[in-house]
Structure 1
């Protein structure tokens, strides 16, 4: 009969390293499964070729990239406080298994799939809250006393998981629930081939994985846990909606009879508001004035085109000025403070891209909220008269 044992760890805890070694000594498993995928193991143990700056800019996933960098930074900071490198307990499990001449299996889902599903499953509001929490963590983690060993205590872990679930239900599904199921699938597959299986996983996964091991029939099919997220293209939908609203607004103003000067003023404010906020956010990211000027110049146009973004243009200019290199990716991960990260040209380029887009989006929202008070006209009258006159014209034509 197969015997399976789970060991829960904190990823930056010396105690976890010791617990893993003790479990292998005492349990004497036939195989050791570790919560790593092949790519993360390679990044922990080898020099991995870094993508070129052109590749990074071409992908355009600036928000997702920043989230990945900041999460890595926070984990590195906690590791520095405790003197333990992130992933040390997994490497200790591998080394101990090799010492006892036991095979090792990588049982975690590919990190690229997890990040893609994590970011893709979250709604817009969840993403905004999550990025805000990460930015707050950048400030609060430094100098704060952290009891990392308490992170292996199941009561503490359960409370933390529940808080995260309230904060980001869809994010928790991809980051926790789906990986619980994936890990359980892998452990059960090992159990079909070996009699004694030891699985080393993060403490936050212990309860979920054990629940699936106790009731394997409740496991979702494995292909559903690795499939590409194919939700609605909300970015394009929102962009098309903004374009439609803008055109309808201008048509209503044009046909309402308020005058050409009001129509031109409405268009001028569109350019000014979207451009100014995109430029301000570019400068807040530490962008060069030329990058801010670029964001100002293109924001009115990109905000009306679902397939373009002001941040892409601002980032291209910033890259020309800062001249980042691919080798700076390791500098970003090794940075000890957020200020140090911001001084690295590659980080600055990506931050400019992300924040320029944020500024442009806020500008669009602000425009629709305040344009009528700014123009000093009654929106009810303008919209009613505008659409009524358009309808009469259409009826006259047909």
Structure 2
């Protein structure tokens, strides 16, 4: 029967690098399995092809990409502070294995699928909490807050961190931790079956070690493999919200039109919709460091995209920003090498993505504010206008029938 040993590491720990080398030397494995997918393996070995700005614009998943970049920045900053490159222990495992002609098995799930499932599994509140927690963590690290990396491998601390993560973001933790535990365990079980006489050394993050071990010891508890590799089908809350906004806006205009307050009031209601959405989307674009052309584009389209759940103002702003800034392919790598958020914010590709995200946020805020401000701006009583408008609409429809 295959012999499996699982080593839990911290991804920015020199001690973990030494432990990996010592484990390979002492255990003499026939296979070294590492917590990487082909994309991250290629990136670690500097063999990955950087995506172009066209690739980024085509995917349109700007919020998820921002979170990925900020997570990478946080890990890199911690690594710089302790003098260790993020993923150094995985690189050490690869180097040691290759120098000894030991096959390397990549046992983690595709990072793109993991991030997609992670982002889509979370509700709006979870995403907001996750974003602010990430910003807070980056602020702590940037101001020199010391982190005891080695303590992160202590099982009691790991358990506490995992429990807090599951409480803070249950859906996000399930996609990022639990599902990957199961995926990696599936891969290890397959390796054991394929090489029954092999000695397999698995190098994984310390937070995954216990979950993977539990699954490997009781493979009957593993969820179906197909359930871990499907693209997520989340409930389309965003589209429902968009159609609801469109319906509510149409109802509001109809109520004003039938209430008898006059066409001038109706025209002002339309004008305020254009101005509020346009100004907020444009302002948020400029806050993101966007070009004035991008801001003008947002101002021009925000009123329309806010009524169409299949379009977003940020998409148009990102396209214009990309045309104006012309980010080179090298920008993608620069984002993963920056040493400060200020430096990252000056990279054209980062600006394209940030502009898209903030322009969409500005338009969303515009939608919410409009329904709160429209009646005070029009100086009319909402109860009277809506009730009168609905009554007159009903009478008109009844007359047609």
TM-score (norm 2): 0.95
| Aligned 1:222-261 pairs, distance under 5 A | 222-261=225-264
From 343, 348, 352, the equivalent of 2:346 is 343
From 305, 309, 316, the equivalent of 2:308 is 305
Q: Distance in 2 between matches of 1:118 and 1:156?
A: 23
Q: Number of paired residues?
A: 398
Aligned to 2:51: 51
From 268, 280, 292, the equivalent of 2:295 is 292
Aligned to 2:159: 158
The Cα of 1:255 is off from its aligned counterpart by 1.2
The Cα of 1:338 is off from its aligned counterpart by 0.4
**Are 2:262 and 1:277 equivalent residues in the alignment?**
no
**Structure 2 gap segments, 5+ residues each:** none
The Cα of 1:184 is off from its aligned counterpart by 0.9
Higher mean C-alpha displacement, 206-215 vs 330-339:
206-215
Query: What CA deviation, in whole Å up to 9, does each residue of 1:98-122 have, x standing for no partner?
Result: 3444322111011111111111111
Higher mean C-alpha displacement, 157-166 vs 343-352:
157-166
SS across alignment from 1:334:
coil
Q: Which ranges of 4 or more aligned residues in structure 1 deviate by more than 3 Å?
A: 98-101
**Are 2:89 and 1:70 equivalent residues in the alignment?**
no
Q: Distance in 2 between matches of 1:275 and 1:68?
A: 29
| Aligned 1:316-355 pairs, distance under 5 A | 316-355=319-358
The Cα of 1:291 is off from its aligned counterpart by 1.7
Aligned to 2:116: 116
CA RMSD of aligned residues (A): 1.6
**Are 2:187 and 1:186 equivalent residues in the alignment?**
yes
Q: Distance in 2 between matches of 1:372 and 1:160?
A: 48
Q: Distance in 2 between matches of 1:117 and 1:395?
A: 50
The Cα of 1:221 is off from its aligned counterpart by 0.5
Contact 1:138 1:338 in 2 (8 A): no
| Aligned 1:78-89 pairs, distance under 5 A | 78-89=78-89
**Structure 1 gap segments, 5+ residues each:** none
Contact 2:39 2:48 in 1 (8 A): no
Q: Distance in 2 between matches of 1:99 and 1:282?
A: 50
Aligned to 1:133: 133
Higher mean C-alpha displacement, 127-136 vs 290-299:
127-136
Aligned to 1:94: 94
Query: What CA deviation, in whole Å up to 9, does each residue of 1:256-310 have, x standing for no partner?
Result: 2222222122212111211111111111101122221221121111101112111
Contact 1:31 1:194 in 2 (8 A): no
Q: Distance in 2 between matches of 1:253 and 1:156?
A: 60
Q: Distance in 1 between matches of 2:388 and 2:119?
A: 44
The Cα of 1:145 is off from its aligned counterpart by 1.2
Aligned to 2:223: 220
Q: Distance in 1 between matches of 2:241 and 2:331?
A: 34
SS across alignment from 2:11:
coil
Q: Distance in 2 between matches of 1:36 and 1:74?
A: 19
Q: Distance in 2 between matches of 1:95 and 1:315?
A: 40
**Are 2:38 and 1:35 equivalent residues in the alignment?**
no
